[in-house]
């Protein structure tokens, strides 16, 4: 199966899962091993869900309450790069391409130490299947190059 067909299939499966478990984000927050924050924190990148993505906001709130500094991704205007911008619940957001809401361009750029990423699927080697634009792949590679 090629990636285009695989993405379409995974979107269907994810939509079914989201319909069956609308509280999956709360379950994620309840089951998240907080030891990861102790080990990899304190700057945690989250995301704001679109379509049928699992909602990480309950987990992000729990991590923030435990002392994490949150950040969210922001894609450059030309779509070639993604940075992480400091963000707290209640901070203003801007409507951006792909139906995303992102921090303002003026928000501080930070380097996360723990990253929650949206995905369609992953394989047994942990390789992520996203939406095909490569924003996360490039951003994660840049963080690895920084030694993160």
Whether 56 contacts 22, CB under 8 Å: no
Q: What span, in angstroms and rounded, lies between the C-alpha atoms of 93 and 114?
A: 21
| pLDDT number for residue 64 | 98
| pLDDT number for residue 134 | 78
Tokens (6 digits) for 47? 């995301």
What average pLDDT does the structure give for the chain?
A: 90
In this model, does residue 145 exceed pLDDT 90?
no
pLDDT-above-90 percentage for the chain: 60
Whether 47 contacts 74, CB under 8 Å: no
Q: For 108-127, how does the pLDDT look when each residue is reduced to its tens digit (9 = 90+)? A: 999 999 999 987 887 777 77
Q: What is the pTM of this model?
A: 0.88
Structure confidence at residue 28 as a pLDDT band (50, 70, 90): very high
Whether 15 contacts 22, CB under 8 Å: no
Tokens (6 digits) for 69? 């500094």
In this model, does residue 94 exceed pLDDT 90?
yes
In this model, does residue 148 exceed pLDDT 70?
no
């Amino acid at each position: 199966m090629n990636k285009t067909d695989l993405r379409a299939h995974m979107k269907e499966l994810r939509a079914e899962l989201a319909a069956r478990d609308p509280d999956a984000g709360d379950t994620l927050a309840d089951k998240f091993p907080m030891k990861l924050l102790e080990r990899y924190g304190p700057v945690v990148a989250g995301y704001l869900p679109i379509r049928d993505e699992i909602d990480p906001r309950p987990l992000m709130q729990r991590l923030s309450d435990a002392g994490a500094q949150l950040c969210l991704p922001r894609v450059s205007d030309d779509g070639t790069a993604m940075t992480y911008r400091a963000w707290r619940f209640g901070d203003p957001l801007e409507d951006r391409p792909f139906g995303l809401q992102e921090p303002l361009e003026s928000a501080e750029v930070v380097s996360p130490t723990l990253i929650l990423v949206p995905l369609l699927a992953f394989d047994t080697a942990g390789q992520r299947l996203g939406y095909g634009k490569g924003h996360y792949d490039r951003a994660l590679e840049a963080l690895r190059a920084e030694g993160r």
